């Protein structure tokens, strides 16, 4: 990890904003996230095509408003944007490494977690930012690299808490912070906090939308 510390700001659901040295990277600004979640970003990363991670209209608006903004994503999303913004929407996949807005990013993972056997699996990639922060999208991908801060998808149609706990155990991050939590009611929070915190083997925390922490 470089000498610059990262500032992480949680947005609603799976969207996070990472800042360093005056530049900002936004991951997965979707339909549940704030309408302006991508505004002011120097680069946007998108893990997959589901609307809670990718809102085409808002991303088109952000690209149109800022000619310097670049998007890095997998083919299924890039195909929806690339023609309108030539050279600014870059297709990446598992094993790729690139620089975005001054951040070093590695791509890990290929498929979305199984929602139900009858539903075809779509593609999904995770992003390791500056060798430190890992956002897996909608999958429990274990990168072949130590993870300092794991963005942890805590509640989704495709997971259960035992899998979430085992995922933290397998990745062994220094700490885990919740994402994919917009469908989780406040009543459930203490249960999830206690079980993941006690059983995951890593400090577990959450940020309210809009809250920030230094990594």
What pLDDT score was predicted for residue 68? Answer: 96
Let me know: does 103 contact 18? Beta carbons within 8 Å: yes
What pLDDT score was predicted for residue 5? Answer: 87
What pLDDT score was predicted for residue 147? Answer: 98
What pLDDT score was predicted for residue 1? Answer: 43
pLDDT below 50 — which residues of the chain? 1-2
Rounded to whole angstroms, the Cα distance separating 40 from 47 reads: 20
Rounded to whole angstroms, the Cα distance separating 209 from 129 reads: 20
CA-angle at 136, arms to 131 and 138, nearest 5°: 175
Q: Which residue has the tokens 């909608």?
A: 138
CA-based nearest residue to 206, from 147, 146, 153:
153
Using one digit for the tens of pLDDT, what is the confidence trace for 123-168? 999 999 999 999 999 999 999 999 999 999 999 999 999 999 999 9
Rounded to whole angstroms, the Cα distance separating 84 from 63 reads: 10
What pLDDT score was predicted for residue 3? Answer: 52
Rounded to whole angstroms, the Cα distance separating 152 from 134 reads: 9
CA-angle at 113, arms to 54 and 161, nearest 5°: 105
Length of the chain: 215
Which residue(s) pair with 8 in the sheet? 18, 213
pTM exceeds cut of 0.85: yes
- Ordered by start, the domain boundaries in the chain are 7-203
Show the tokens assigned to 96. 């790729």
CATH of 7-203, one of 3.40.50.620, 3.60.15.10, 3.40.50.1820, 3.30.10.20: 3.60.15.10
């Amino acid at each position: 990890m470089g000498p610059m510390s990262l500032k992480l700001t949680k947005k609603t659901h799976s969207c996070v904003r990472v800042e360093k040295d005056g530049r900002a990277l936004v991951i997965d600004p979707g339909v549940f996230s704030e309408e302006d979640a991508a505004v002011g970003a120097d680069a946007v990363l998108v893990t997959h095509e589901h609307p809670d991670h990718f809102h085409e209209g808002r991303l088109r608006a952000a690209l149109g408003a800022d000619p310097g903004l670049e998007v890095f994503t997998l083919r299924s999303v890039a195909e929806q944007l690339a023609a309108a913004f030539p050279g600014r929407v870059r297709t990446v996949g598992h094993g790729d490494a690139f620089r975005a807005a001054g951040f070093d990013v590695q791509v890990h993972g290929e498929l979305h977690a199984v929602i139900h056997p009858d539903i075809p699996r779509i593609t999904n990639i995770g992003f390791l930012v500056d060798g430190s922060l890992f956002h897996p999208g909608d999958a429990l991908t274990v990168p072949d690299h130590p993870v300092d801060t794991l963005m942890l998808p805590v509640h989704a149609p495709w997971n259960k808490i035992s899998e979430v706990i085992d995922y933290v155990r397998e990745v062994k991050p220094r700490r885990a912070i919740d994402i994919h939590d917009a469908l989780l009611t406040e009543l459930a929070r203490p249960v999830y906090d206690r079980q993941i915190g006690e059983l995951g083997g890593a400090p577990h925390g959450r940020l309210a939308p809009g809250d920030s922490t230094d990594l």
